[in-house]
């Protein structure tokens, strides 16, 4: 890895330093055809930091998140993880992605596999764990999300909240250093939101670097170290939750918050 | 069915559609009289009348449309010339061969002239004019071919159209000249085969060949013309005798005044026969100049109706009348010695007689010792029952007793089918006992050589024929091997004249009367068809299944490979895959088969046998559809699935293999099954490149039996069963997959 990027020599050191930049986005632009969705994003996420991204629908939150693990091709600008520039063609994206877990709004569990298989697939396939180890690890994770008894169930038999908790366990199975959540609770019935937030909250307190795109303002305020407000493809304002929610400096932020709070 | 039988039973075949009408003809049956030879009646009978004449739309060079849109051709020019000569007018309706024949049967037209072979089958329903054209088949090769004679065909392939006289002919000499047959379903394909080098030679009706060479087709005829059935003009049986006789007179007149020859030369150029050769023999000249040849002929003492003592004490019978007629026709003399069969044969070997004609079956055994003439009679065993009997088919023999004479072919045959039809066999030691047993009610019928039966019936024996004539031997006249070749030559030439002129039919009808014609074609049911043709059908089925299996497996592999290429990030791969799909989905599979079988070898020199070409065609065709099934199946999987997998760090192929494809296959299975079934059914199209699959086999069986309804029913049931089994299997697999 270190020999594939110019910032290589720094990597090791940055990794070990808490509070140092883990993800660095600069001058990021993204267009879908004529639709210029991200219009110059500069964002740094430090190790162990929990960043909540909020903003009106269509402002580009999901797109930004998906650029962080290059599920989306970027149009221009750079996205660096641990100093490795993901826009560099030479970078092995699969290796980088192993360190970045992602949780989707619609869970995206593999319907033809059991819960256990969903979770053990990546560690086994990527040679990270032996099957027996992977299974033990999966059970451990399922216990952590409170679903140990569902190991042999098929996703179709689970409730939305259970599915999302399995999805989180699946992402955690690769021991990621960063977790990305894209509206992890917005497809859930209200009574199931709590159980999922509980799991995410647990992760946040464990010191995981996290980026949460969310509509749950209360939750964002509670768990995040920093809140980023996006509108029309740019970051309008960012800051500590108390500041941003309590004392927004931008008119558009105030406007948005007045509608959602 | 052997080819000899095929040839004997029918003339030029016009595809499957012709079978329907042929069966109709066979069922209508009845009547007897042979075609009258050139009658010398005055033309005035029909002068001034107008007759509606049905004909084919296109059968070059007999009927076709010229550049000005007018119907021309040998038939057209002849019938107009005859009409002119006889002072009647014709209103020609080109309807297509089958339609014209049907129109004649329902009196919508008065006569049909359409390159129509005079066959026994047709003579049951129609009266024919004297033969106006002697068709026949011949071989042809590419103009620039090294092949100069039939001998040069050793190890080569000869293209034939299935079910034609040409095919029978080629089959009959294939071993002798060491070539292989390439059986195709369309005439044009045989020409293509020669052009593309799939075959070295082809066989076709010589007028068609002659005409196409005249038209600039770069072919060259080789070998001799094989005389086939003569063409005649047909009217409904017993009707329009005046028209027929006017036509015959007219034909004679235009042969004399040269019009006939002009017409033939117009279309056949150098290959044109002489009108006098066609029309003259129909009078069966018996005043040929003496050649001075004299032969001593041994025969049986009594073997009615072939040789027996006539009312005036002279030996008569089919053999005798034929022999005498031929002798007169060819200008030789005969002295007949009635020695008894065995004695006659011994006398021949001892050189006491020059030849033997005695209802003698041509066998391999005998051919080691004797040379035979062309067969002059097809014999066989048939069942005779009393006229008022209820027995209408072998099926009615269940629980009954049938008489046979010991040591005869009749006994052999009866024993071979008695279990199948559930009857008992009563063995008699001589013919009269056997007949008496039936008359006394101890047996319901007896198996006997059919000419003997038919002769008896013509003599008023009070019996009738039931069931088919079971394939038996052919009679020929014999000489000692390597001796008396002149006799063979003269006899054969005379026999050909006798057949062409109707003299032969006259002779046979004299003795067999209506017997032969009334050989009622009891329609076998599908079970007899199955039991008779099962081995052939099974063989066809084998190729069908094999071609399907190969194609389905190959198409699956192609479908996956090209399916991935279709969604590849690499543009060139996408283009190639898209082009593949468009080409094979955008052209008919028949064209693809032809292309791979005929055009590819011509362009590249790579040759495939018909199975390889057929399986390749099916594979590529089905592969194109599979490609689209695979592509759309993959694309139907929620993209979030692949994203989830990729976000975990799994690579593209692992994602495909573990996440996308298992879900995609589930979506694809019904389409796979569907394509498999389509492919199975598409194998039937491969009969056009002579792959001997089920449909091809069924066409062959129909061609030789006319049992289209029965055979097609059986074949449909086989396909249906196969596809149902396949579907059940697929459903099972699908359930397993979904579990
Ligand atoms: N794959 C795509 N192709 C084309 N346009 C896209 C695609 N994905 C997103 N967009 C467009 O990009 C813009 C931003 O979408 P994005 O999903 O990032 O917004 P969002 O802020 O996440 O909104 P929401 O809160 O509704 O999820 C929208 O106009 C959307 O239509
Ligand atoms: Mg979104």
A14 domain-assigned: no
Residue A6 has pLDDT above 70, yes or no: no
- Asked if residue B273 lies in contact with residue B158, where contact means CB atoms within 8 angstroms, the answer is no
Within 6 A (CB) of ligand 1 lie A 32, 35, 37, 55, 57-63
- Nearest C-alpha neighbor of A159 from the set A120, A198, A109: A109
Chain A residues with CB under 8 Å of B660 CB are: none
CA distance linking residue B30 with residue A217, whole number of Å: 101
- Nearest C-alpha neighbor of B235 from the set B134, B136, B62, B116: B116
Burial B411-438 (b: 16+ CB within 10 A, else e): bebbeebbeebebebbbbeebebbbebb
Burial A16-47 (b: 16+ CB within 10 A, else e): eeeebbbbbbeebbbeeeeeebbeebebebbb
CA distance linking residue B208 with residue B224, whole number of Å: 15
The CATH architecture annotation of domain B526-738 reads: Orthogonal Bundle (1.10)
Residue A92 has pLDDT above 90, yes or no: yes
Name the band, by pLDDT with cuts 50, 70 and 90, for residue B18: very low
Chain B residues with CB under 8 Å of A111 CB are: 663
List, in sequence order, the alpha helices (H) in B586-707: 589-594, 600-604, 610-636, 639-647, 652-654, 661-682, 694-705
Pocket test for ligand 1, best of A33, A61, A104, A256 (most atoms within 8 A of CB): A61
Instruction: Provide the β-strand partners of residue B72.
Output: B64
Q: How far is CA B602 from CA B191, B541, B574, B591, B598, in A?
A: 13, 30, 30, 15, 7
Residues 150-169 of A with CB under 8 A from B: 167
Name the band, by pLDDT with cuts 50, 70 and 90, for residue A129: very high
In this prediction, residue B717 carries a pLDDT of 92
CA distance linking residue A34 with residue A74, whole number of Å: 14
Ligand 1, atom 13: closest residue by C-alpha: A58
Peptide bond just before B305 cis, omega within 30 deg: yes
pLDDT tens by residue, B36-80: 333 333 444 788 889 999 998 778 788 887 777 788 889 999 999
- Asked if residue B331 lies in contact with residue B289, where contact means CB atoms within 8 angstroms, the answer is yes
- Nearest C-alpha neighbor of B132 from the set B121, B117, B119: B117
Which of B176-180, B185-189, B250-254, B653-657 has the highest mean predicted lDDT (pLDDT)?
A: B653-657
Least confident window among B327-331, B332-336, B512-516: B512-516
Distance (Å) from CA A234 to ligand 2 centroid: 15
Residue B401 has pLDDT above 70, yes or no: yes
Residue B25 has pLDDT above 70, yes or no: no
User: Two tokens at A225?
Assistant: 């170290």
List, in sequence order, the alpha helices (H) in B280-403: 318-330, 341-349, 364-367
- The β-bridge relationship of strands B71-72 and B64-65 is antiparallel
**CATH fold label, B31-132+232-277:** D-Maltodextrin-Binding Protein; domain 2 (3.40.190)
Say if the Cβ atoms of A125 and B663 lie within 8 Å.
no
Give the 3-state secondary structure of residue B351.
coil
- Asked if residue B638 lies in contact with residue A108, where contact means CB atoms within 8 angstroms, the answer is yes
In this prediction, residue B681 carries a pLDDT of 92
- Asked if residue A14 lies in contact with residue A5, where contact means CB atoms within 8 angstroms, the answer is no
Give the 3-state secondary structure of residue B178.
coil
Which of B128-137, B463-472, B544-553 has the highest mean predicted lDDT (pLDDT)?
A: B544-553
Residue A58 has pLDDT above 80, yes or no: yes
Instruction: Provide the β-strand partners of residue B399.
Output: none
Phi, psi of B115 (to 5 degrees): 50, 45
Q: B394 Cβ partners below 8 Å, 6+ apart?
A: B383, B417, B420, B421, B466, B467, B522
> Which residue has 């959540």 as its token pair?
A181
CA distance linking residue B37 with residue A193, whole number of Å: 105
Which residue in A has a C-alpha nearest to residue B638's C-alpha?
A: A108
Instruction: Indicate the helix (H) or strand (E) that contains B409.
Output: helix B409-421
Q: How many CB atoms lie within 10 A of CB B463?
A: 23
Residue B16 has pLDDT above 60, yes or no: no
CATH number of the domain within which A191 lies: 3.40.50.300
Query: Which one of B646, B654, B662 has the shortest CB-CB distance to A71?
Result: B646
Residue B4 has pLDDT above 70, yes or no: no
If one compares B351 and B543, the residue with the highest pLDDT of the two is: B543
Name the band, by pLDDT with cuts 50, 70 and 90, for residue A138: very high
- Nearest C-alpha neighbor of A78 from the set A114, A116, A28: A28
What DSSP string describes A92-159?
Answer: -HHHHHHTEEEE-TT----TTS-HHHHHHHHHHHTTSS-HHHHHHHHHHHHHHTT-GGGTT--GGGS-
Least confident window among A43-57, B389-403, B415-429, B507-521: B507-521
- Asked if residue B376 lies in contact with residue B355, where contact means CB atoms within 8 angstroms, the answer is no
Residue B151 has pLDDT above 60, yes or no: yes
The CATH architecture annotation of domain B377-475 reads: 3-Layer(aba) Sandwich (3.40)
Name the band, by pLDDT with cuts 50, 70 and 90, for residue B106: confident
In this prediction, residue B14 carries a pLDDT of 36
Task: Record the pTM.
Answer: 0.56
Say if the Cβ atoms of B659 and A110 lie within 8 Å.
yes
In this prediction, residue A250 carries a pLDDT of 93
pLDDT tens by residue, B593-613: 988 887 887 788 887 888 999
In this prediction, residue A53 carries a pLDDT of 96
CA distance linking residue A35 with residue B676, whole number of Å: 45
How far A166 CA lies from chain B's nearest CA (Å)?
Answer: 13
Residue B690 has pLDDT above 90, yes or no: no
Chain A residues with CB under 8 Å of B641 CB are: 108, 110
A32 near B CB under 8 A: no
- Average pLDDT over chain B reads 81
B636 near A CB under 8 A: no
- Asked if residue A123 lies in contact with residue A134, where contact means CB atoms within 8 angstroms, the answer is yes
Exposure on the CB side of residue B198, measured as CA atoms within 13 A: 28
How far A219 CA lies from chain B's nearest CA (Å)?
Answer: 25
Question: Looking at residues A104-111, what average pLDDT do you find?
Answer: 94
CA distance linking residue B663 with residue B695, whole number of Å: 38
CA distance linking residue A80 with residue A21, whole number of Å: 9
How far A6 CA lies from chain B's nearest CA (Å)?
Answer: 23
ipTM entry: 0.90
Interface test with B, best of A72, A91, A94 (most B CBs within 10 A): A94
Residue A19 has pLDDT above 70, yes or no: no
What DSSP string describes chain A?
Answer: -GGGSTTHHHHHHHHHSTTSEEEEEEEEEEEETTEEEEEEEEEEEETT-EEEEE--TTSSHHHHHHHHTTSS--SEEEEEETTEETTSTTS-HHHHHHTEEEE-TT----TTS-HHHHHHHHHHHTTSS-HHHHHHHHHHHHHHTT-GGGTT--GGGS-HHHHHHHHHHHHHTT--SEEEEESTTTTS-HHHHHHHHHHHHHHHHTT-EEEEE-S-HHHHHHH-SEEEEEETTEEEEEE-HHHHHHS--SHHHHHHHHHH-
Question: Looking at residues B258-280, what average pLDDT do you find?
Answer: 78
In this prediction, residue B432 carries a pLDDT of 65
In this prediction, residue B441 carries a pLDDT of 79
Secondary structure, 3-state, B5-60: HHHHHCCCCCCCHHHHHHHHHHHHCCCCCCCCCCCCCCHHHCCCCEEEEEECCCEC
What DSSP string describes B614-645?
Answer: HHHHHHHHHHHHHHHHHHHHHHHS-HHHHHHH
Instruction: Indicate the helix (H) or strand (E) that contains B576.
Output: helix B571-585
Distance (Å) from CA A104 to ligand 2 centroid: 10
- Indicate which atom in ligand 1 lies nearest the CA of residue A61: 21
Pocket test for ligand 1, best of A28, A39, A60, A184 (most atoms within 8 A of CB): A60
Q: Which CATH number fits domain B136-230: 1.10.3720.10, 2.20.25.570, 1.20.1090.10, 3.40.190.10?
A: 3.40.190.10
In this prediction, residue B12 carries a pLDDT of 36
In this prediction, residue A32 carries a pLDDT of 95
pLDDT tens by residue, A152-180: 999 999 999 999 999 999 999 999 999 99
In this prediction, residue A5 carries a pLDDT of 35
Phi, psi of B730 (to 5 degrees): -65, -40
If one compares B654 and B27, the residue with the highest pLDDT of the two is: B654
- The β-bridge relationship of strands A21-32 and A76-81 is antiparallel
Question: Looking at residues B177-196, what average pLDDT do you find?
Answer: 86
CA distance linking residue B183 with residue A130, whole number of Å: 62
CA distance linking residue B226 with residue B165, whole number of Å: 9
Least confident window among A40-49, A95-104, B141-150: B141-150
Which domain, by its residues, includes A225? Answer: 23-258
Residue B13 has pLDDT above 50, yes or no: no
Residue B524 has pLDDT above 90, yes or no: no
The answer to whether the Cα torsion of A45, A51, A56, A61 is positive or negative is positive
Q: Where in chain B do CATH 1.10.3720.10 domains reside?
A: 526-738
Question: Looking at residues B301-319, what average pLDDT do you find?
Answer: 76
Name the band, by pLDDT with cuts 50, 70 and 90, for residue B312: low
B639 near A CB under 8 A: no
If one compares B502 and B107, the residue with the highest pLDDT of the two is: B107
A2 domain-assigned: no
Give the 3-state secondary structure of residue B273.
coil
Instruction: Indicate the helix (H) or strand (E) that contains B207.
Output: helix B206-214
Name the band, by pLDDT with cuts 50, 70 and 90, for residue A189: confident
pLDDT tens by residue, B692-717: 889 888 876 765 454 667 788 889 99
Which of B222-236, B331-345, B581-595 has the highest mean predicted lDDT (pLDDT)?
A: B581-595
CA distance linking residue B258 with residue B668, whole number of Å: 73
If one compares B462 and A203, the residue with the highest pLDDT of the two is: A203
Question: Looking at residues B464-492, what average pLDDT do you find?
Answer: 87
Distance (Å) from CA A65 to ligand 2 centroid: 9
Q: Percent of chain B at pLDDT above 90?
A: 26
Peptide bond just before B307 cis, omega within 30 deg: no
A126 near B CB under 8 A: yes
How far A243 CA lies from chain B's nearest CA (Å)?
Answer: 33
Say if the Cβ atoms of A109 and B648 lie within 8 Å.
no
- Nearest C-alpha neighbor of B20 from the set B101, B94, B96: B101
Residue A34's Cα: distance from chain center in Å? 27
In this prediction, residue B310 carries a pLDDT of 65
Based on the structure, what is the number of domains in chain A? 1
Distance (Å) from CA B659 to ligand 1 centroid: 25
How far B649 CA lies from chain A's nearest CA (Å)?
Answer: 4
Q: For the purposes of burial, counting CB atoms within 10 Å of the CB of A205, is it exposed (0-12), middle (13-18) or buried (19 or more)?
A: exposed
In this prediction, residue B121 carries a pLDDT of 77
The answer to whether the Cα torsion of B141, B147, B149, B151 is positive or negative is negative
User: Two tokens at B270?
Assistant: 């150098």
Residue A64 has pLDDT above 90, yes or no: yes
Q: Where in chain B do CATH 3.40.190.10 domains reside?
A: 31-132+232-277, 136-230, 377-475
Query: Which one of B638, B640, B648 has the shortest CB-CB distance to A97?
Result: B648
Chain A residues with CB under 8 Å of B659 CB are: 110, 121
B638 torsion bin: left (phi>0), alpha (psi -120 to 50), beta (else):
beta
CA distance linking residue B301 with residue B221, whole number of Å: 46
A173 domain-assigned: yes
Name the band, by pLDDT with cuts 50, 70 and 90, for residue A183: very high
């Amino acid at each position: 890895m270190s020999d594939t990027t110019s910032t290589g020599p720094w990597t090791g050191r940055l990794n070990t330093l808490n509070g140092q930049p883990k993800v660095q986005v600069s001058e990021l632009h993204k267009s879908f055809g004529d639709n210029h969705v991200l219009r110059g994003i500069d964002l740094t996420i430090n190790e162990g930091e929990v960043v909540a991204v909020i903003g009106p629908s269509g402002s580009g939150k999901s797109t930004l998140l998906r650029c962080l693990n290059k599920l989306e091709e970027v149009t221009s600008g750079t996205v660096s993880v641990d100093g490795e520039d993901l826009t560099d063609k030479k970078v092995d994206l699969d290796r980088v992605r192993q360190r970045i877990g992602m949780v989707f709004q619609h869970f995206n569990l593999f319907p033809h596999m059991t819960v256990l298989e969903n979770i053990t697939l990546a560690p086994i396939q990527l040679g990270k764990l032996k099957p027996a180890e992977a299974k033990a690890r999966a059970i451990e994770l399922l216990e952590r999300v409170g679903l140990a008894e569902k190991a042999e169930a098929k996703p179709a038999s689970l409730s939305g909240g259970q599915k999302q908790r399995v999805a989180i366990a699946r992402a955690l199975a690769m021991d990621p250093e960063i977790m990305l959540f894209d509206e992890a609770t917005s497809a859930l019935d209200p009574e199931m939101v709590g159980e999922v937030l509980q799991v995410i909250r647990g992760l946040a307190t464990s010191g995981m670097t996290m980026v949460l795109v969310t509509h749950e303002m209360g939750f964002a305020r509670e768990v995040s170290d920093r809140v980023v407000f996006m509108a029309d493809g740019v970051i309008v304002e960012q800051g500590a939750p108390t500041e941003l929610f309590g004392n927004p400096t931008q008119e558009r932020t105030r406007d948005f918050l007045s509608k959602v709070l | 069915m052997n080819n000899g039988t095929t040839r004997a039973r029918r003339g030029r075949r016009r595809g499957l559609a012709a079978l329907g009408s042929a069966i109709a003809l066979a069922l209508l049956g009845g009547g007897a009289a042979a075609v009258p030879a050139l009658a010398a009646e005055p033309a005035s009978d029909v002068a001034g009348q107008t007759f509606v004449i049905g004909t084919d739309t296109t059968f070059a060079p007999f009927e076709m449309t010229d550049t000005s849109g007018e119907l021309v051709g040998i038939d057209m020019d002849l019938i107009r010339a005859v009409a002119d000569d006889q002072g009647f007018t014709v209103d020609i309706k080109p309807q297509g061969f089958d339609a014209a024949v049907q129109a004649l049967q329902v009196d919508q037209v008065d006569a049909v002239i359409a390159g129509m072979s005079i066959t026994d089958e047709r003579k049951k329903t129609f009266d024919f004019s004297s033969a106006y054209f002697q068709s026949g088949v011949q071989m042809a090769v590419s103009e620039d071919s090294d092949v100069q004679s039939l001998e040069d065909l050793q190890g080569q392939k000869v293209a034939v159209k299935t079910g034609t006289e040409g095919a029978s002919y080629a089959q009959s000499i294939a071993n002798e000249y060491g070539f292989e047959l390439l059986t195709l379903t369309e005439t044009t394909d045989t020409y293509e085969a020669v052009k593309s080098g799939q075959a070295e030679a082809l066989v076709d009706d010589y007028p068609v060949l002659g005409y196409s060479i005249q038209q600039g087709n770069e072919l060259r005829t080789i070998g001799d013309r094989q005389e086939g059935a003569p063409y005649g003009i047909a009217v409904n049986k017993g009707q329009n005798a005046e028209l027929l006789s006017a036509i015959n007179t007219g034909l004679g007149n235009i042969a004399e005044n040269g019009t006939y020859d002009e017409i033939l030369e117009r279309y056949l150029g150098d290959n044109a026969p002489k009108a006098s050769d066609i029309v003259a023999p129909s009078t069966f000249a018996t005043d040929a100049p003496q050649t001075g040849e004299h032969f001593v002929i041994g025969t049986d003492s009594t073997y009615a109706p072939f040789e027996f003592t006539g009312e005036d004490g002279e030996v008569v019978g089919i053999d005798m009348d034929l022999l005498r007629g031929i002798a007169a026709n060819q200008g030789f003399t005969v002295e007949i010695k009635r020695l008894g069969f065995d004695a006659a044969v011994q006398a021949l070997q001892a050189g006491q007689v020059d030849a033997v004609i005695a209802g003698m079956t041509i066998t391999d055994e005998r051919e080691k010792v004797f040379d035979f003439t062309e067969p002059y009679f097809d014999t066989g065993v048939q069942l005779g029952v009393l006229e008022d009997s209820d027995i209408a088919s072998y099926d009615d023999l269940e629980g009954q007793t049938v008489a046979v004479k010991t040591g005869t072919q009749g006994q052999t045959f009866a024993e071979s089918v008695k279990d199948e039809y559930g009857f008992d066999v009563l063995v008699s030691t001589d013919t009269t006992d056997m007949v008496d047993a039936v008359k006394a009610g101890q047996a319901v019928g007896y198996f006997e050589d059919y000419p003997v039966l038919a002769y008896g019936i013509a003599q008023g024996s009070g019996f009738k024929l039931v069931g088919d004539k079971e394939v038996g031997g052919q009679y020929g006249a014999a000489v000692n091997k390597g001796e008396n070749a002149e006799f063979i030559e003269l006899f054969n030439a005379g026999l050909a004249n006798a057949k062409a002129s109707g003299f032969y039919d006259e002779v046979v009808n004299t003795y067999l009367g209506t017997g032969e014609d009334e050989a009622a074609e009891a329609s076998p049911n599908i079970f007899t068809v199955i039991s008779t043709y099962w081995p052939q059908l099974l063989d066809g089925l084998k190729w069908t299944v094999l071609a399907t299996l190969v194609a389905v497996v190959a198409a699956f592999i192609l479908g996956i490979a090209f399916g991935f290429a279709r969604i590849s990030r690499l543009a060139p791969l996408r283009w190639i895959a898209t082009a593949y799909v468009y080409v094979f989905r955008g052209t008919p599979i028949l064209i693809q088969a032809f292309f791979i079988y005929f055009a590819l070898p011509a362009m590249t020199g790579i040759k495939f046998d018909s199975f390889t070409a057929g399986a390749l065609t099916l594979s590529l065709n089905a592969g194109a559809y599979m490609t689209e099934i695979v592509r759309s199946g993959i694309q139907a999987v929620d993209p979030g699935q692949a994203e989830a997998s990729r976000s975990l760090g799994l690579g593209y192929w692992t994602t495909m293999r573990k996440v996308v494809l298992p879900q995609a296959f589930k979506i694809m299975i019904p389409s796979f099954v569907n394509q498999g079934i389509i492919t199975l059914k598409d194998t039937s199209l491969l009969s056009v490149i002579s792959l001997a699959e089920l449909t091809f086999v069924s066409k062959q069986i129909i061609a030789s039996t006319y049992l289209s309804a029965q055979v097609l029913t059986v074949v449909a049931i086989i396909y249906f069963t196969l596809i149902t089994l396949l579907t059940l299997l697929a459903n099972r697999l699908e359930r397993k997959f979904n579990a």
